[in-house]
């Protein structure tokens, strides 16, 4: 009887560890997909800039005073 209780408690501990591992793996997979998508977007933007399809500003915009915004 004591042997069965020890086996049951051991199995419960293993199930708990497996559940924690499963949640950790799921979180790692979600983060991996997020960073893969972010990396692909950076690569696509880089290719677009290199091919001249995307124009990036190479200088700062002109300073506009607050009074000029209120006139609009």
Residue indicated by tokens 């009074």: 67
d(CA 12, CA 60): 63
Q: 42 and 33 in contact (C-beta within 8 Å)?
A: no
Range of the domain at 66: 2-71
Q: Total structural domains in the chain?
A: 1
Q: What is the pLDDT of residue 72?
A: 59
Dump pLDDT digits (tens) for 8-40: 889 988 888 888 888 889 999 999 999 999 999
Tens digit of each residue's pLDDT (9 = 90 or more) over 43-67: 999 999 899 888 887 778 788 788 8
């Amino acid at each position: 009887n004591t042997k069965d209780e020890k086996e049951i408690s051991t199995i419960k501990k293993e199930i708990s560890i497996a559940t924690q591992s499963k949640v950790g793996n799921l979180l790692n997979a979600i983060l991996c997909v997020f960073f893969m998508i972010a990396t692909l977007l950076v690569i696509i933007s880089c290719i677009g800039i290199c091919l001249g399809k995307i124009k990036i500003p190479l200088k700062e915009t002109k300073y506009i005073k607050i009074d000029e915004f209120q006139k609009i």
